[in-house]
Every structure is written in C-alpha cells, then in structure tokens.
Amino acid sequence: MVGRTTIAKQIAVSLDVASSKDIAGVPTQFSVATTFSMLVYAEKLGFSCYFPLNCVSNVLYIGLCNKLPVKDALVQFDTALTLNPNPVEAQAAFYNKACCHAYRGEGKKAAECLRTALKEYNLKFGTILNDPDLASFRALPEFKELQEEARLGGEDIGYSFRRDLKLISEVQAPFRGVRRFFYVAFIAAAGISTFFTIPRLIRAIQGGDGAPDIGATAGNAAINVVGIVVLVALLFWDNKKEEEQLAQISRDETLSRLPLLLSTNRIVELVQLRDTVRPVILAGKKETVSLAMRNAEKFRTELLKRGVLLVPVIWGEGSETKLEKKGFGLSQKAVASLPSIGEDFDQRTQSIIAKSKLKSEIRFKAEVVSPAEWERWIKDQQKSEGVTPGEDVYIILRLDGRVRRSGKGMPDWAQILKELPPMEAILSKLER
C-alpha cells in the first residue's frame, strides 16, 4: 500500500495546490481517506455534498467542477471507508454515499447509509432534513420510514433525534414530568398498600377470632386496585399523548425545512419566515386551488395586513418534476440561496438585517420548491388528523411556524380575516 503521505502529495498535485494540508487557505484537517475520496471525487461532481464545517470551508463547495460519474464516486467513498477513517471522516463518507444513492434514485441504499451515520457516527437528523442534495430522497417512502425510526429511537438508529424531540416536547408540556412522577409514586403507594391488604382480606374471609372486618378490608383492597388501574391508565394516556406530540414536532421540523421560491426568485426555507408571515397552504387539484387564489385576491390588502402568504400545492406536480442531471438536489443557485449546513437557523431568523431583507422580498404568494416533499408532508398531516390523504385541504400556520388550524376544501377568506389579528396587534406579538 502506498503511504498516506505519498498519496496526499499526489492529491495535492492533482488539485494544483501546494499542500494537501492547506487548500484555499483553509486547513482541511482531513486524513487521506477523506481527502482522497471526498475532496477529489465528491467535489469533482460539482455538487453540494456534505462536509463537517470544522474540516472544510464552504469555499470548496464551488470549486473542482470536472464531472465524475456518480458510480465512480461511490467506489471511492467505499475505498475511503477501508482506509481506517476517523469518526468524522466516516460520517462524511456514509453521508455522501447516501447523497449519491439518492441522486440515483436508490432510496433503500441511501436510507441504510444514513442509518449507519446516525447510529454509529452521531449524524444529526436535522442535516438530513436540511440538505438539498437529499430533496429527492425526502419525497420517498424510505425517508418517512427512517424519520419514524429516528423519532422512536432504538439500537438500529440511535436516540439523538428522539432526545432532541423530547427536549422540545418538555418545553411545550413542562408539567408532564411532574404528572408522571406523581402517577408512579401513587401507583407504588397503592401497590404497597394492596400487598399488605391482601393477607388481611384472606384472614377476614377465613374468619375466626381476631379476624379483621371483611367489609372494611375488602373496601380498602378495592380502592387500592381501582386506584392502580386508573393511575396506570392515566400514565399510558400521557405516554400516548407524548408520542403524538413528538410525531407532530417531527412533522413541524420537517415543515420548517421545506423550501419556497419568493417573488424575487430567492429560495428560502420556511423556518426563515418565522415571525414574519402566516403561510396559508392550499393543497388540491389545480382548478380548486386556482379558484381559491382568485378569491383571495379580493381580500388581498386585508390579508397582507395579517401577514398571509399563500402557498399553493397542486396534487401530482411532485411526480411530474423531472430530475435535472446537473448535480444533487437543487441547482447551484438554489443551494447558494439556502443557509449552510449546520447553521443555526433560529439565530439567522432573529437577525434584524436578514428579517428586514425578507420582509422587502415577501409578496402575497410563494411557489413551492421540491413539490414532492410538500405533498408528502401534507399527506402525513392529513393522516394525523384523520383526513383521507389527497383530499383538497388548507393549512394555516402561526407566526412561530406551527400549525394553527386546517380544514377540508378551500378556506373562507372572510372568516380568516375575522380570525387572524393584524400583524401589529398584541395577539400577533404573543403568537411569535
């Protein structure tokens, strides 16, 4: 085997740089495993493949545009994994393999690579939700299955995503833990009492001198048993509600990463519009949605005062979208307009400058990017609310990005004007 230093020098020569330790003035911190397989081959694809931000600067994403077949890149990622990579490099290798498989439409193989990265190398599930290279994968059933596994947690996929969801759940329901403590405490107390009451009940039934009163003893035992049954039922009910809440938080997280095209041709994720607009999603057949849009124009001025942004989703558009064989996921222009991987979107959204710029670009309507992803999310939301997937629906979001309410058919705009307060109203400020 050729020494690692020799290979690194060869790579440096092939990239026309002086040293493999410093490319574009940025320390790579990569061993040959990652440098050879990810820098040379993935970047030659010209795609926005994932690299840990502490290893390679985003300036590398736009360089080295000579095309290499995706199947050859897969071979090189496999080669990298045989060269004893460190955990960070192995995570990047598996992740970029998943990007390649997603590009080729191989959902199962992409899901397996992501499972390995999640379980063994602590990949954040938010990265999967965020990456435009995986837009086609997120529209597949394999992604839904992977997300559900990550939400439930387990040995096959790890618990990091579930931990993140539970932290959000605890903020939204801060007294659930206290309730559970009392449930368990009272169940234990009733169980101990029942443990000592049963022998007394047996003695009461047998009768004899000194036997306790059978009526009182039986009454105590019955109270304990009924108490245990009720408390256990409450505990299970609370657990069920938590799982439903975690599922909703997971859907909200997926929703927040869905991209929109503003009227200025800028692509943003829904999370970037928090505190700025109230998106109203109109999903259905083209004729129905078009009619709802025309009706909304009659109330345009008042709806704009309430921060309404119309988001039309036409059933079937996602399946008609053709894959442009120029790279993973979205175009380079679209990728450049999205926030970088690993960026704190909440902090970005809170930026006064960014919010002011967004406000100036937002108009009355936005177009969906990756319509298949939008359709999948809407249909999941329909299932959670007991609505047949594929029916015409509207979904109104709050200023904080969560679902306010939804309904079948198209909305009554006059009723929405009565329901939504103006953006300057106190109620709108409390909603943020």
The pLDDT tens digits for 323-382 are: 444 444 444 444 444 443 344 545 544 554 555 555 555 678 999 988 888 998 899 888
34-52 pLDDT, tens per residue? 444 444 444 444 444 444 4
CB contact set of 352 (below 8 Å; sequence gap of 6+): none
- Domain end residue (candidates: 122, 157, 192): 157
CATH number of residue 409's parent domain: 3.40.30.10
Whether 431 shows a pLDDT value over 80: the answer reads: yes
Q: Of the segments 23-27, 102-106, 152-156, 320-324, which one has the largest average pLDDT value? A: 102-106
Same domain flag for 299 and 394: yes
pLDDT band at 12 (very low <50, low <70, confident <90, very high): very low
Lowest mean pLDDT among 71-75, 99-103, 196-200, 286-290: 71-75
- For residue 180, the model assigns a pLDDT of 92
29 or 417, greater pLDDT: 417
What span, in angstroms and rounded, lies between the C-alpha atoms of 29 and 41? 17
Quick one: pLDDT at residue 390? 87
Residue 143 inside a domain? The answer is: yes
Residue 284 lies in a domain: yes
Is the CB of residue 266 less than 8 Å from the CB of residue 337? yes
166 found inside a domain: no
Q: Are residues 366 and 424 in the same domain?
A: yes
Is the same domain home to 30 and 140? yes
Same domain, 114 and 229: no
Residue pair 259/369 in contact (Cβ under 8 Å)? The answer is yes
Q: What is the pTM of this model?
A: 0.59
Question: What pLDDT, in 10s, does the model give residues 163-212?
Answer: 778 887 888 888 888 999 999 999 999 999 999 999 888 888 888 777 88
Q: Residue 396: which pLDDT band, with cuts at 50, 70 and 90? A: very high
Give the pLDDT of residue 350: 52
347 and 374 assigned to the same domain: yes
Residue 169 belongs to a domain: no
Q: Is 319 in the same domain as 294?
A: yes
Tell me: do 360 and 397 sit in the same domain.
yes
Q: Which domain holds residue 194?
A: 176-255
Is residue 77 within 8 Å of residue 117, measured between CB atoms? no
Hey, what amino acid is at 202? I
Looking at residue 359, its pLDDT comes to 58
pLDDT value at residue 89 = 86
User: Would you tell me the crossing angle of helices 141-152 and 107-121 to the nearest 10 degrees?
Assistant: 20
Domain check: are 153 and 188 in the same one? no
pLDDT digits (tens, 9 = 90+) for 213-255: 888 889 999 999 999 999 999 999 999 998 888 888 888 888 8
Same-domain status, 403 and 334:
yes
316/220 same-domain check? no
Total domain count for the chain? Answer: 3
| Mean pLDDT for all residues in the chain | 76
The answer to whether residue 180 sits within a structural domain is yes
Kindly state whether residue 95 falls inside one of the protein's structural domains: yes
**pLDDT of 417 above 60:** yes
Mean pLDDT along residues 294-317: 92
CA dist 109 to 51, 70, 96, 101, 117, Å? 20, 14, 12, 6, 13
> pLDDT band at residue 158, thresholds of 50, 70 and 90?
low
In a domain? residue 357: yes
275 with 305, same domain: the answer is yes
Q: Which of 157, 184, 201 is the last residue of a domain?
A: 157
Is residue 251 domain-shared with residue 277, that is, in the same domain? no
Last residue of a domain, one of 157, 192, 225: 157
- Gap between the Cα atoms of 293 and 310, Å rounded: 8
The Cα 287–Cα 189 span in angstroms is: 62
164: in domain: no
For position 347, what pLDDT does the model report? Answer: 53
Q: How far apart are CA 399 and CA 133, in angstroms?
A: 28
The predicted pLDDT at position 319 comes to 55
